[in-house]
Amino acid sequence: MPRLSLALAAALLLPLPAVAEEVVVFAAVSLKTALDPIAQSFQQATGNSVTISYAGSNALAQQILQGAPADIFISASPEWMDEVEKGGEVAGGARTDLLGNTLVLVAHDPDAPQLTPAPGFDLKGALGGGRLAMALVDSVPAGQYGKEALVSLGVWDQVLPSVAQADNVRAALALVATGEAPLGIVYATDASAEPRVHVVGTFPADSHAPITYPAALLKNGTDAADRAFFDALGAPEAEAVFRAQGFTIPD
């Protein structure tokens, strides 16, 4: 057999360079403002790439259950994570409650009066004949939390004919930001990310179920990069970004 050249022989003795991996994340759209910079920092530090698909948690969960190749799922409600876990898509023991949030009422008009969401408050009157923007109330977490709050405060039936439902919470936010709806119900973090809306009221925490964002490593998340990014979501650096955007960190 021919001899290897000295240069080639030397090259074969060197360690192979690490191959960059892609981490595919399915995340609730309300996370975008915080999660994008976290992913960017991870990419710069590791050389791995992070691809994030944002949508309503319901749509993402259904895509995962239908075989979409996601490595990590971050939902805006435990309900949709439960469905994914029941479907056998969550890696064993790789689920955690990552974040919390607050539900607020936002207005397009910067001079809109403040409202105090309380039993029987005059939300219908505040609309002035306009629409109330909400995410889909039967399937998207922000819409579900919003409907639950309005029902518990006794005003749901009054405003139901005025509700304009959007595919996700950022779409509902956009309706208010552009003035198509005078008021909307979104997360506090969404309101802070959009300068064209103004918080005019905060819903009592006991008017709806706790807003919890579970995160899980999925069965497709088998490489070291997937695990590293999943772990990075709970690191102090990521927590600082989440807190700056208005999220809360569960104990």
Asked if residue 136 and residue 55 are part of one domain, the reply reads no
Single pTM value for the model: 0.86
User: What are the phi and psi torsion angles at 107 (to 5°)?
Assistant: -125, 155
Q: Tens-of-pLDDT digits for all 251 residues of the chain?
A: 334 333 333 333 444 345 679 999 999 999 999 999 999 999 999 999 999 999 999 999 999 999 999 999 999 999 999 999 999 999 988 999 999 999 999 999 999 999 999 999 999 999 999 999 999 999 999 999 999 999 999 999 999 999 999 999 999 999 999 999 999 999 999 999 999 999 999 999 999 999 999 999 999 998 999 999 999 999 999 999 999 999 999 97
d(CA 70, CA 25): 6
Query: CB of 106 within 8 A of CB of 199?
Result: yes
In a domain, 5, yes or no: no
Asked if residue 131 and residue 49 are part of one domain, the reply reads no
> Residue 162 has what DSSP assignment?
G
In the sheet with 72-74, reading across from the earlier edge strand, the strands are 49-55, 22-28, 72-74, 212-218, 90-100
d(CA 70, CA 215): 12
Q: Report residue 30 as tokens.
A: 């309300």
Asked if residue 87 and residue 107 are part of one domain, the reply reads no
Asked if residue 54 and residue 122 are part of one domain, the reply reads no
Asked if residue 81 and residue 40 are part of one domain, the reply reads yes
Asked if residue 74 and residue 27 are part of one domain, the reply reads yes
Number of Cβ atoms within 10 Å of the Cβ of 219: 15
In a domain, 251, yes or no: no
Asked if residue 202 and residue 111 are part of one domain, the reply reads yes
Asked if residue 195 and residue 122 are part of one domain, the reply reads yes
Asked if residue 29 and residue 109 are part of one domain, the reply reads no
Asked if residue 73 and residue 126 are part of one domain, the reply reads no
Number of Cβ atoms within 10 Å of the Cβ of 226: 25
Asked if residue 107 and residue 196 are part of one domain, the reply reads yes
In a domain, 222, yes or no: yes
> What is the span of the domain harbouring residue 230?
20-99+212-244
| pLDDT value of residue 20 | 79
In a domain, 8, yes or no: no
| pLDDT value of residue 92 | 84
In a domain, 220, yes or no: yes
Domain count, the chain: 2
In a domain, 11, yes or no: no
In a domain, 126, yes or no: yes
Asked if residue 95 and residue 216 are part of one domain, the reply reads yes
In a domain, 13, yes or no: no
CATH number at residue 218: 3.40.190.10
